[in-house]
Chains A and B, each alone.
Chain A
């Protein structure tokens, strides 16, 4: 009896017995070492993974789902040792345009392999067909000349542009130039598929959050950690990930705005007894108004948080985002807030009034509790 390891070979899952996995890992480590000086290392490794995956698939069938050590040994024997190639022709034709009749249409992806940070510039360079250094210089210059506005666009691209992870996607990142007609048709098709595929899931998520909320109301005080242990959603298509990235951005801003509005209302209620000019009816006790406010906030924000989380899950293809969506939200709030402060006088007024609210609150606390 052997333990089984599930691995990802060029975007598809395969199950291997542990000794088979060890053999494969040793083979790939040697291959990567042999290709260390090769400028196309990443691509060759992907090709090798795909070739191994094809060979694994030929051993698997409806009644057999795990590759054992003997079969892996035979597969690696067939593959043969990977030979390094002298780094002579290092003058690589970077992004040379290849206009092939049946290449996949070119798409903008983030390419982590070649990127320094988020892969946005590397993806744009592959898309336009110029050196990545020019793209980076372009970002820096436009950021300087637009007073930082380009940085906001960059941030939005990090969200909206999917990462190329399989060899097809990497091919598409460098692929043939797109044709506008095709792009429009594809966008329509993908949008229709997106709504077909995801609308039920998103509605279900909304309902689930509603239910969780109702459960919590009925069993007040109990832990509500009842997140269903469902399988990871399948990797979504390009347009789906673009739209989900956009939604992740929008819902992040909405949830953050709701939180800020709640905090302002909460502090202003405590400090001045009224919420931006509105005072609660005199007969309601003060604590009850606070509780109602908190409940109202939770009820309003829960569905938006759920949608935000679902968007992030669609973007990353992972069920559990490990709080990274929270960090991303905080980053968005900081940057959007900064731009609002810079360019929108109304937003600046609001932030200043928020400061006044906080000041009133701290004064109130000081006078009520500290000076007694």
Chain B
């Protein structure tokens, strides 16, 4: 019997963007922070997925990044939420609450 994580991969995939916007909304983070924050959750992901997704979010102007010098190694891209991204996150949150409320309502 596959675990819930394996069975509902498609469901999580659509929500990954939501999860990333939520992380980025709290503080400015670089990719390592995002991976570490997601690792213990069902949304655990990898660079191969994250970089294309962040690039898409930046193209849609939901997030933006700054180059910040790191103590060792090359400078890192620190991502932060834009105003447009904050609006998107509110919208997603409202829709998510609407969805869960609907699902619960259907069972009654």
Q: Which residues of A contact B (CB under 8 A)?
A: 10-12, 31, 35, 38-40, 43-44, 47-48, 50-51, 54, 57, 78-85, 89, 92-93, 96, 98, 100-104, 166-168, 171
Contact = CB atoms under 8 A, between A and B. Distances in A.
A85 B52 contact: yes
Contact of B75 (A78, A82, A168): A168
Interface stretch (B2-10, B58-66, B98-106): B58-66
Nearest to A92: B59
B67 A103 contact: yes
Interface string B65-77: 0111000011101
Given A44-B55, A171-B67, A80 B45 contact: yes
B69 to A, nearest CB: 9
A78 B66 contact: no
Given A38-B55, A84-B52, A78 B64 contact: no
Contact of B66 (A47, A81, A103): A103
Given A38-B52, A83-B52, A168-B75, A78 B59 contact: no
Contacts of A98: 64
Contacts of A44: 51-52, 55
Interface in B57-97: 58-61, 64, 66-68, 73-75, 77
Contact of A102 (B31, B52, B68, B73): B68
B41 interface: no
Contacts of B33: none
A54 B72 CA distance: 10
Given A47-B51, A48-B47, A93 B73 contact: no
Nearest to B72: A57
A101 B78 CA distance: 12
Contacts of A92: 59
A39 B66 contact: no
Interface of B: 31, 45-49, 51-53, 55-56, 58-61, 64, 66-68, 73-75, 77
A79 to B, nearest CB: 5
A40 B59 contact: yes
A31 B67 contact: no
B66 A51 contact: no
Contacts of B58: 40
Nearest to B57: A89
Contacts of B61: 93, 96
Contacts of A100: 64, 66
23 contacts: A10-B74, A11-B74, A31-B48, A35-B52, A40-B55, A40-B58, A44-B51, A44-B55, A47-B55, A51-B47, A57-B73, A79-B47, A79-B48, A80-B47, A82-B49, A85-B53, A89-B56, A93-B61, A98-B64, A102-B66, A102-B67, A102-B68, A168-B75
A92 to B, nearest CB: 6
B50 to A, nearest CB: 9
Given A48-B47, A80-B49, 16 more contacts: A11-B74, A12-B74, A40-B55, A43-B55, A48-B48, A54-B73, A79-B46, A80-B47, A82-B51, A83-B48, A98-B64, A100-B66, A102-B68, A166-B74, A168-B74, A168-B75
Nearest to B80: A100
Contacts of B67: 102-104, 168, 171
Contacts of A82: 48-49, 51-52
Most chain A beta-carbon contacts within 10 A, residue among B46, B48, B74: B48
Given A44-B52, A102-B66, A93 B75 contact: no
A40 B57 CA distance: 11
Contacts of A79: 46-48
Given A79-B47, A168-B67, A39 B52 contact: no
